[in-house]
Amino acid sequence: MLANYIGAVALFVIGFYAMMVKHNIIQIVIGMGLTDYGLNLMIVSIGFNEGGTAPIYTFGELTSGMYFVDPIPQALTLTSIVIGACVTAMAMALCIRLYKEYGTLDARDIRRLHG
């Protein structure tokens, strides 16, 4: 269980580092994805119960000693995955447009965006 938290923090830190330090826009988009994956792993790890079962049951299967996994973090994570995929697709489309317009993906060289 501790490995999940360590992995989530590591993914988040690596992604945040890529967003703050790198100058290539594609590397920044990859950093955004890594940050998103780290947050998703943290949310799922928080909602996990050792020995828990899926919260789907019928009336005959319910006993007093059953432990269920919290379904809310799983639902939030699924929503976050879909939103993250859409954001990544839009960012990659923006990268393609920037490359066609300026001929580079280096954020330092793209100075005409300031308006």
Percent of the chain predicted with pLDDT > 70: 89
Sign of the CA dihedral running 87, 93, 94, 99: positive
Give the up-direction half-sphere exposure of residue 83: CA atoms within 13 A in the CB hemisphere. 11
Q: What domains can be seen in the chain, in order of their start residue? A: 2-50+70-114 (1.10.287.3510)
Write down the pTM of the prediction. Answer: 0.83
Per-residue model confidence as pLDDT tens digits over 23-47: 999 999 999 999 999 999 999 999 8
Residue 52 pLDDT: 76
Who wins on pLDDT, 100 or 114? Answer: 100
Q: How far apart (Å, rounded) are the C-alpha atoms in residues 81 and 101?
A: 30
Nearest to 55 by CA among 66, 42, 64, 65: 66
DSSP 67: -
Place of tokens 């489309």: 93
